[in-house]
Amino acid sequence: MEDCYEHDKIEYFLVVSILFYIGNDAFFINQKTQLEKILLDRFTTVKSPFNRADFTCLFFDLLSCPFLTNAFKNKIVLAVRIEEKEKYRQLSEKEKAAVKKEICNHQWFTDWNARDDIAVLLEKKKFITPY
């Protein structure tokens, strides 16, 4: 995957499509591992990920993705330096756990439970207007 794509060329819809396609299939474990490395690198190197819509959407969808491990999700949270945010630091450990659980259990921009073909889902997204 690293050979095929430049890190900055892997965008939201490509990531979602790849994850949707490979799911938890053990055959694609190497590709998933490479994708995780690329994503961690991108989230680590971007200065303010939440100032960009693509990173914000991807952040929430990665945390709610059932095909990614909790260990990877924790790395993504660390990569965006959320612990540095004043409001986050004011939360108790119990509140932090509740926030993470809510984020991980909510379907944000991608319905990971959908049984439709990924091509059909992408076509539907193309025709949905944000307003």
> What's the domain range around 38?
7-127
Q: Is residue 33 part of a domain?
A: yes
Domain annotation covers residue 46 = yes
Kindly state whether residue 2 falls inside one of the protein's structural domains.
no
* Tens digit of each residue's pLDDT (9 = 90 or more) over 11-38: 888 888 888 888 888 898 899 999 999 9
pLDDT at 2 over 50: no
C-beta separation of 9 from 110 below 8 A: no
3 has pLDDT over 80: no
DSSP 86-125: HHHHTS-HHHHHHHHHHHHHS--SS-TT--S-HHHHHHHH
Per-residue pLDDT tens for 74-97? 888 877 766 666 666 667 778 777
Is 1 inside any structural domain?
A: no
Mean pLDDT, the chain, whole residue set: 77
pTM of model > 0.85: no
- 41 vs 85: CA distance, rounded Å: 20
Domain count of the fold of the chain: 1
> How much is the pLDDT for 37?
92
User: What is the phi/psi pair of residue 97, to 5°?
Assistant: -65, -40
